[in-house]
Chain A
């Protein structure tokens, strides 16, 4: 049922917690996991500004998702990583729908009402627009 699972991550602790759920899901259904990290315009700007070249930017991003990657490495579940470019919500939705994932696992950042008003909730957007079931980990 859940053979092809997307684990959307932003490199935070919240997303490390959702990794554990994704792993359990994959183990139960003998599925594969794709770790997806979306880099938006603002992040692109500050990453390029703070790092000397493409190689260093790439290294920094890989380091960012390392905690999640380590969890998957030690679990033994088959996985791959994918760094996408674009605003988190729409990019994750588009990737999930185009590649026909069976499930998207995503962490909730735990924002308060004001922050949600200004920043917007990525997990809500994904839950609303993705074609497949979405597991939001609180």
Chain B
């Protein structure tokens, strides 16, 4: 039975997986090169990463049919590390990223992701798109109109070709066409070769040459933590999208561990940290891929193409890559969020915009996500901290009943005592908590304070309608000695 299952997972859809894997491999090459350039490393670093991650994930991932490789989100987080400390530190950071992700998976912490609200996720993808877009603008500096024309031509091919044929990825056709045009037209523009070296070699196992000290660890840790968070965020989002597209379920903890293993292996083979890619996974599923084989074929075929065609790859003009990255940015941006922005609750819209702004200013996706989550938490606390107290006089004006509605916790109790009249002429007060819930010691403290103030004016206080949780909390806290009465 188990062997049957494994067979099904690997060979249940051979034709679809192989063809889709090859399409994805071709679509991955320009992106892997462009993301390397964003990160500030040689194109081989991104290509090795895409090869290693795609192959490892094929075996250990939890979401068959999903494509993982070098990504823009991760590349953007590495820029400073590479600029300040160089490639070897990036490789070490990649390994540490993987270790963190494996731990998250082993301790089943990926469900923590549910605390990231939707509006933060939307802000995340929009910010990512903006950063990928702006990262391309440096390539226009000191360039002539030829650069603009070639980028425009690339985009025209990318967007119009699918109308006529979908057999080959339009990004690849655009790259080939523009490269051929530049080579045969003898047009002098900057090429991939100008950005870094490309070797036609298989990756080899190497231990990053860094001093193994506490200091090194503290340098890479913040980068690795950010990479781990962003990588998992995008991977789990992508897994959900692939789940939906294929109408199947997937194992998120296994995927989390898998992403970690893939990054550890990549780091040792000279690749940069990566994660799942929404765009490539959509291409894979659309092209008929839904099994583990598709990811394996994508990785292996990519490496094969680089070894065979490496000499041509260095001649790809930067203009063509910039065009492809513009397409990636446009495809990543969630345009529906702009159309529906005015319909959203104001707090959700504010969270989304804040996430985007923080990321664009700090160039760090993890900071934007953190700020977005915090802001959502504050908005939530503000919304839920509204309490209402209604008064009712009974027993011929001898007794007053206060009906409390809402959640009593640290954020809601500051104004709470002001809603009671302590200098009343009544003899006793009943506080009805049927529609209230006590959450923490601040709530207990507030009630104690109210009780005390009433007693200073010789008014006796009773509580009623405490629900089970609140009663339990109150008993544990020890205060409110009379609360059980009535």
Task: List chain A positions with a Cβ less than 8 A from chain B.
Answer: 39, 41-42, 44-52, 54, 57, 85-87, 117-118, 120
Contacts and interface: CB of A to CB of B under 8 A. Distances in A.
Contact of B244 (A48, A52, A87): A48
A48 B159 contact: no
A11 to B, nearest CB: 14
Interface in B214-254: 237, 240-241, 243-247
A83 to B, nearest CB: 9
27 contacts: A39-B244, A44-B241, A44-B245, A45-B282, A45-B334, A46-B334, A46-B336, A48-B241, A48-B244, A49-B118, A49-B237, A49-B241, A50-B118, A50-B122, A50-B336, A52-B114, A52-B118, A57-B244, A85-B245, A85-B246, A85-B247, A86-B286, A117-B160, A117-B163, A118-B159, A118-B163, A120-B163
Interface string B306-345: 0000000000000000000000000000101100000000
B429 interface: no
B359 interface: no
B215 to A, nearest CB: 40
Contacts of B122: 49-50
B244 A85 contact: yes
Interface in B76-104: none
Interface in B139-166: 159-160, 163
A41 B122 CA distance: 17
B33 interface: no
B139 to A, nearest CB: 26
Given A46-B334, A49-B334, 20 more contacts: A39-B244, A41-B245, A41-B282, A44-B241, A44-B244, A45-B278, A46-B336, A49-B118, A49-B125, A49-B237, A50-B336, A50-B337, A52-B114, A54-B243, A85-B244, A85-B247, A86-B286, A117-B163, A118-B159, A120-B163
Contacts of B240: 48
A86 B336 CA distance: 19
B118 A47 contact: no
A41 B163 contact: no
Contacts of A118: 159-160, 163
A57 B282 CA distance: 18
Nearest to B285: A41
B353 interface: no
Interface string B280-324: 001001100000000000000000000000000000000000000
B45 interface: no
B121 interface: yes
A60 B25 CA distance: 34
Contacts of A85: 244-247
Interface in B358-416: none
For the complex of A and B, list the 10 residue pairs with the smallest distance between their C-beta atoms, beginning with the closest.
A41-B282, A44-B245, A44-B244, A48-B241, A48-B240, A46-B336, A48-B244, A45-B241, A85-B247, A85-B245
A87 B244 CA distance: 13
Contacts of A52: 114, 118
Contacts of A117: 160, 163
Contacts of B243: 54
Contacts of A45: 241, 278, 282, 334
